[in-house]
Structure 1
Amino acid sequence: MLKKCIRDPSLILPTESIRIKDSLSYGEIPVQILDRQIRKLRTKEVASTKVLWRNQFVEEATWEAEEDMKKRYPYLFESGGNADQGINFLLSAL
């Protein structure tokens, strides 16, 4: 059952103070590479990586082209502590 609501004008927030993008989108950041594989086509081979994205579960990881991922996110392919520094840098930028 619906009840009648008494409006309180002091609780209304001006929309200018809330910074919402018009597209209502956000950028995903890759966190870890879970797996690698080479898919053989008729004339060439394509290297793919299974990428775990921030705010997603392992089951929702996606296969991406390794070459593109190396260009856009080189810190994922570095060994040692440098990979952690790259992730921390991206997270601090947000």
Structure 2
Amino acid sequence: MSYDDKIFTEIKNVFLNKFNDCCILYQKTTLKIGFDRGEDARWFEKNIIRRKKDSSVISKASLNPLKRIITDYKFEYSFKVKDKDKLIKLLNER
């Protein structure tokens, strides 16, 4: 298992423990997360994606709904992880 795969596995496990219904994919350098519940999506957007100061991720806006990868979920976000430890800490604060 490569270093990047280990990081993804660690992040994926935190997401699956903290959110009721989500799916997370790893595509090269970008992570994609899908949420079914609006409450989970709003929390993630407010506390992770839109966080300006000391952000742990770089948001990759996916404005074209036809390019959605995670089609079984209502809300989808794409992002690159800048600081894995900080992202995991923020997710664990949920």
* Higher RCO (CA-CA < 8 Å; seq separation 6+): 2
Using the size of structure 2 for normalisation, the TM-score is 0.25
Point out the structure with the larger helix share: 2
TM score, norm. by length of structure 1:
0.25
**Greater Rg over alpha carbons, structure:** 1
